[in-house]
Structure 1
């Protein structure tokens, strides 16, 4: 199969988006596209038309045509499959199948076409994979974001610690010294601060350095002798005066707790990420079409001095998982003792970048493994379609940030949602309804939503796309410890475990 070019044109033959995949001149491409409307004619039911040199494989899309220009020796079945894949991608990046929308998103469409066809030959990709490649999401980028977020959190904690130390120092200044003098600002109703001094137990003395010139009610009852406070009221009245002056006061107990918490935040020299991606395709009428799990254990070492290590893991009893260590990992050591170490113990692990050291995969046809079942029931009544959709979650996982995306027919107004367990949002650009649940645990293993739209065919509401994360994986792989090669001493490490719905659909 050789695809010469792919294009989206209007019925007059004007190319809105065009991408050539082999060496051809622009004039040649424009000539081929301009000749296409004359060849198609009207009333033909074919999906292709041929000339002496090329074959046009096309699909009408409202007022536009999606065309593949191929040579005549190309496999027509492969061409049609490629055409169907491209037709699925266009609605992902265009709000409507009109010239203005296609031209506006032309670059995105060209990049998507490049992911499907390379040098004139179709790549072995699906629509979901093309979407992932377009988003340019990568494990290295996630690890980098995780490390950057850790540094940001540590900086915030340090800022809180410094702020609490400043607040404590301000509070200490207001406490009586051995001579019994307390220094706090006292403002009078005339708007001026009066500095004065005194030396008697429990007497407030104004501090000129902290005067702010704002009247307060704290000094309304002041007399020549000053305010007399009981022993149990001194601290609280001091704090009230400081608060009246606009100071943010943190109690000693709270400040000590925050300082202790921030001081305990470690900077770990090693980070270990266990990640699984789940790919599921379920049938709308029930049944499991495909189920695939792919996992990776990645290691990030900050310094070379900490790179001479081994990772001790513990695998949950799951017979269906197939493990594959990195070629540089000692496979015999892993098989005997579940320890991931380099074959050459004198070599260090790479530093400063995520390194995948173990992969695994699991496939199954067992429907009981599905973490989240989705049932959708559209029914037409009185010129409207009532859609009831429900989820049922497995007891095995606690799912986080669950988002269920239901396609809708083209609507002028948002759908009417009669009932929902969670939150919903209507995306008019993509014409989809997003149903979100922050957390699914034992308190809400089942949930439902019902909405109403104008009468539409049941197939419009499929495929339903599902996204979620979890902190537990199917293989239940745990990192027990990180040990030095020499001496076997334990090394501090930061661990992260995540299950991610990569492609999860009800079709």
Structure 2
């Protein structure tokens, strides 16, 4: 009877240990989350105010019943050793106790969790050591970022024939201003502009048009008002249009297409030439074809077959590769050369087609210059060879 009661007591203690283990795990989880939140708050405060962070302590989350739990576990360990040292005359409960190896593992885990003090303090050090550097780096970049952002956007559209003659072309652009610092909303922009290619400029209705025409300065008509903050607004637009009266050299790049029809095949050769000194990026030519897939015989750069067209990816073009060609052949007696047109040309420029640049940005009243960032987006849009 005594042995039976002792074994029953062991069962109850095991269940008690399991329940307390669950409570401890829940408490540790709450403590860990609280530590993470506090560390994040400390890190944010250190970043914003320059105060060095330190590992915080959280006595409020220390379970008050931990000494009692440790004592209970030690008592249970002693009783367990006694029980296993005694001969088991009763089979039923003794066999069940012998099957509690998994529970004993849980007990060992509880003992390890409540063991050395270094294991208790490990979570405090780990979040500090593993604090990511990225948020601090982003904060640093954000603080160094200019409070004024200038964006020059431009699209170049053109239609040229197979001989390279210009049929029509159009350039549209605008200058956008975005101020992220409300203290800088009362300012002016000093521009460098050139009415090359017959460019026509138009300012925003709230911008002083006469001042821009005479001095190439962008500022509000009413100097008592401010530009809106954290909002990209267009302050200047320009446009160049031609119906083909100008020479094709006005374009940043020209193309000539040769179509030679033989007895049983047709050969197509596409040539390009850089007309100015401006570098081009991401240059590609999309060349459609009919039912028969062509065979590429000669090419500069790389190409790929995509559906019913050939994609000639030239990449960057500068003075080192100012010209190049691409040649392919279609073996088909009934091929129509119109199947190879229109060809689409895509490219981007590092400088705008129309000369527009911002030389300085300064506060209107103080006259102090402020830092600004500038981005140029000049790309082709509807540039075709027909």
TM-score by length of 2: 0.60
Partner of 1:421: 300
Aligned pairs for 1:87-486 (under 5 A) are 266-316=144-194, 318=196, 320-364=198-242, 365-367=245-247, 368-411=249-292, 414-428=293-307, 431-455=308-332, 456-486=335-365
Q: Indicate if the aligned counterparts of 2:284 and 2:345 stay in contact, CA closer than 8 A.
A: yes
Give the total of aligned pairs: 245
Please say which structure displays the higher CA radius of gyration: 2
Give the unaligned 5+ runs of structure 2.
1-136
Deviates more, 1:481-490 or 1:298-307: 298-307
SS of the residue aligned with 2:153?
strand
Q: Shift of residue 335 of structure 1?
A: 1.6
Query: Which position in structure 2 is the counterpart of 1:35?
Result: none
Q: Secondary structure at the residue paired with 2:278?
A: coil
Distance apart, 1:342 and its partner CA: 0.7
Query: SS of the counterpart of 2:210?
Result: helix
If the length of structure 1 is used for normalisation, what is the TM-score?
A: 0.46
CA–CA distance in 2 between the matches of 1:443 and 1:319? 26
Partner of 2:124: none
Q: Secondary structure at the match of 2:269?
A: strand
- Once residues 394 and 434 of structure 1 are traced to their aligned partners in structure 2, the CA distance between those partners, rounded to angstroms, is 22
Deviating beyond 6 angstroms after TM superposition, the runs of 4 or more aligned structure 1 residues are: 262-265
Structure with higher helix content: 2
Contact 1:399–1:440 (Cα < 8 Å) also in 2:
yes
Aligned partners of 1:299, 1:263: CA distance in 2, in Å? Answer: 20
**Aligned mates of 1:283, 1:386 — CA distance in 2:** 18
Matches of 1:445 and 1:281 in 2, distance apart?
A: 21
- The CA distance in 2 between the partners of 1:476 and 1:313, in whole Å, is 10
- C-alpha separation between the residues in 1 aligned to 2:216 and 2:347? 30
Q: Is the 8 A contact 2:174 2:238 kept in 1?
A: yes
Spell out, residue by residue over 1:93-152, the C-alpha distance to the aligned partner (whole angstroms, 9 max, x if none). Answer: xxxxxxxxxxxxxxxxxxxxxxxxxxxxxxxxxxxxxxxxxxxxxxxxxxxxxxxxxxxx
RMSD (Å), alpha carbons? 2.3
CA distance in 2, matches of 1:303, 1:265: 11
Structure 1: 5+ residue stretches without partners = 1-258
